Amino acid sequence: MKNFNALVIGATGATGQEIVSQLLEDDSFNSVSIFVRKYPNITHNKLKTYLIDFSKVKDYKDLIKGDVLFSCLGTTLRDAGSKDKQYSVDYT
């Protein structure tokens, strides 16, 4: 059976944390690469963490390689601070 490489963006939020947890325990995945704005409090032998600036995502295109991508990006108005910033995170 083939082992897959998972990619997760937005891995530090509630949904992202749950998906990462499940992927790390799933034997179908031999690596889990997460792309985050801040380092999470998790370590695992299958986990690769990349701290990136999402406004410059093209700068990281060589790192974004895998079999399955999970997008968990999103924010609340309160956390974003304004509707414009929330739109930027959630849609662009």
Strand partners of residue 26: none
pTM value is 0.83
State the chain's maximal CA–CA distance in angstroms.
47
In this structure, how many other beta carbons lie within 10 angstroms of the beta carbon of residue 33?
20
Length of the chain: 92
Domain boundaries, the chain: 4-91
pLDDT in tens, 27-76: 999 999 999 988 999 999 999 999 998 889 899 989 989 999 999 988 88
CA distance 79 to 30: 33
Classify domain 4-91 at the CATH topology level: Rossmann fold (3.40.50)
